[in-house]
Amino acid sequence: MDVKNVVMSACFGLLGALIFTLFNQYYNSTTFGVVSLDTVIGAHIAKYGAESMTEDELSKQSALFANALQSKISELSERGVILLVAPAVVSDLHDYTSEVKEGVEVILNANE
């Protein structure tokens, strides 16, 4: 092998690695974000806490809320978002609190 073939092979190898890395980053990207669970849970308690419910109704409503919250967090996870709890993180990450809160409300309203 002469030097020209070695250099060409190295260049094409690097080009292939670069293309692979760009496609991998594009299709498998991960986004970090924060959510304030205190706000989400507080909004739920404010809405349903004023209602007088039996123990069974309260248990059912709590289970629906937990399932709705898990569903919304799973949906964000499938989109490549990793959520961190807001009080534990001091940074400028995107805040998904309103999206989670609204998504939970939509799911809960659909179950009524």
Residue 51: give its domain's CATH number. 3.30.910
pLDDT value of position 68 = 93
- Residue 106 — pLDDT band, cuts 50, 70, 90? very high
89 lies in some domain? yes
pLDDT tens digit string along 18-28?
A: 888 877 777 77
Domain that holds residue 74: 29-111
Residue with tokens 């739920």: 44
Between 42 and 26, whose confidence is greater?
42
96 lies in some domain? yes
Q: What are φ and ψ of residue 70, in 5° steps?
A: -60, -40
17 lies in some domain? no
36 lies in some domain? yes
Domain total for the chain?
1
21 lies in some domain? no
Prediction pTM value:
0.70
* Type of residue numbered 13: G
Between 37 and 48, whose confidence is greater?
37
Q: What is the mean pLDDT of residues 57-75?
A: 91
18 lies in some domain? no
